[in-house]
């Protein structure tokens, strides 16, 4: 009997003020939208996400971006950490916050640089340690895993993680152009692997019904595609499957109201995983995953054309329905 496929329901949790002008004026509304959505109790940002996970008995891996708290206070970050109680809180970094902080984290930080890969190894280490300190102040437990904003890592990122004592990374993404630019051609971005002391769990990608690469992201593929990719990965003997979402993914763009298409996708995914524990083992990253030393590269999962056409139909309906 084939072993269950380890599935990680990962969420990048971040606050975006829709630009870098008038941050102090924009932050309160941005925090409400990105943390709660349209309701503090039931809104389809974190409360709705957690309600669905908890109802199905599943644990999420929440990569939380903490640098904003160095500008607006750890109390806001603590609100997020407290909401996530019972789930796995790990570290996410959007370093473009660096120049907004007082004092600056290091000389030269006054120039805004969007991606972590634009920083030196030493600067990356400073930002990672700052993020760890902020999460600790907010009451998070030990951080064991990392994902950089926009998947924009490089070789220095892995070295900085090792220096900071973070053993697991999930920053490689085969189809994101800013991910691991200096590592391409040297590593397989589509399978878990050991890179020195770092256990790397890349973003899972699959081939859709037209043959194009697609991320296993809740907002970017139909449930039919996700289910087909999961089934194909399990059938092929893959060990790990990394699903991506965000704290705001079930919200409509620029609005706090729910996107019912994405809500239904996430509901269906959680129900499906919970119904098939013999095939899928939903895992967290608070303990570093063990990679089989003799594992061979599995073919990329595939989804049928019908599942992809259904995604296009969903997208058309969303545009028409507004």
For the chain, how many residues are written?
322
Structure tokens at 81: 């950490």
6-54 pLDDT, tens digit per residue, is 999 999 999 999 999 999 999 999 999 999 998 888 899 999 999 999 9
- pLDDT tens digit at each of 322 positions of the chain: 788 999 999 999 999 999 999 999 999 999 999 999 988 888 999 999 999 999 999 999 999 999 999 999 999 999 999 999 999 999 999 999 999 999 999 998 999 999 999 999 999 999 999 999 999 999 999 999 999 999 999 999 999 999 999 999 999 999 999 999 999 999 999 999 999 999 999 999 999 999 999 999 999 999 999 999 999 999 999 999 999 999 999 999 877 789 999 999 999 999 999 999 999 999 999 999 999 876 667 899 999 999 999 999 998 887 776 6
Q: Report cis status (omega within 30 of 0) of the bond before 103.
A: yes
Report the CATH number at residue 245. 3.20.20.370
Contact 138, 130 (CB under 8 A): no
Contact 186, 166 (CB under 8 A): no
Which single residue is written with the structure tokens 């060990």?
Answer: 239
Give the total number of structural domains in the chain.
1
Contact 216, 205 (CB under 8 A): yes
pTM: 0.97
Pairing of the two strands 280-283 and 5-13: parallel
Helix-strand-coil split of the chain, %, nearest 5: 40, 15, 45
For residue 105, give the nearest of 89, 287, 113 by alpha carbon: 113
What is the rounded CA–CA span in Å between residue 168 and residue 145?
5
What is the rounded CA–CA span in Å between residue 314 and residue 322?
12
Contact 5, 240 (CB under 8 A): yes
Contact 49, 38 (CB under 8 A): no
Structural domain boundaries enclosing 188: 5-321
Which single residue is written with the structure tokens 């990962």?
Answer: 10
């Amino acid at each position: 009997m084939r072993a269950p496929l380890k599935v990680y329901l990962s969420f990048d949790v971040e606050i975006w003020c829709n630009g870098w002008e008038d941050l102090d004026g924009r932050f309160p509304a941005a925090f409400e939208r990105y943390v709660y959505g349209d309701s503090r109790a039931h809104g389809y940002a974190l409360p709705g996400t957690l309600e669905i996970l908890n109802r199905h008995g599943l644990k999420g891996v929440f990569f939380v971006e903490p640098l904003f708290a160095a500008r607006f206070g750890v109390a806001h970050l603590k609100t997020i950490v407290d909401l996530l109680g019972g789930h796995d809180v790990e570290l996410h970094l959007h370093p473009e916050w660096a120049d907004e902080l007082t004092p600056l984290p290091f000389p030269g930080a006054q120039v805004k640089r969007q991606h972590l890969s634009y920083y030196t190894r030493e600067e990356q280490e400073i930002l990672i340690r700052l993020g760890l300190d902020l999460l600790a102040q907010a009451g998070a437990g030990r951080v064991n895993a990392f994902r950089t904003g926009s998947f924009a890592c490089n070789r220095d990122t892995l070295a900085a993680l090792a220096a900071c004592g973070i053993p697991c990374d999930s920053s490689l993404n085969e189809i994101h152009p800013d991910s691991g630019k200096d590592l391409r051609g040297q590593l397989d971005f589509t399978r878990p692997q050991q890179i020195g002391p770092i256990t790397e769990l890349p973003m899972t990608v699959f081939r859709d019904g037209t043959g194009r690469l697609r991320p296993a992201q809740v907002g970017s593929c139909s449930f039919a595609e996700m289910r087909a990719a999961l089934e194909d990965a399990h059938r092929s003997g893959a060990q790990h499957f990394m699903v991506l979402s965000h704290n705001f993914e079930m919200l409509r763009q620029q609005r706090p109201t729910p996107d019912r298409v994405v809500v239904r996708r996430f509901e269906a995914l959680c129900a499906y995983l919970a119904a098939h524990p013999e095939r899928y083992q939903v895992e967290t990253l608070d303990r570093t995953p063990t990679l089989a030393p003799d594992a061979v590269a599995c073919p990329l999962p595939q989804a049928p054309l019908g599942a992809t056409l259904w995604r296009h139909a969903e997208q058309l309906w969303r545009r028409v329905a507004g």
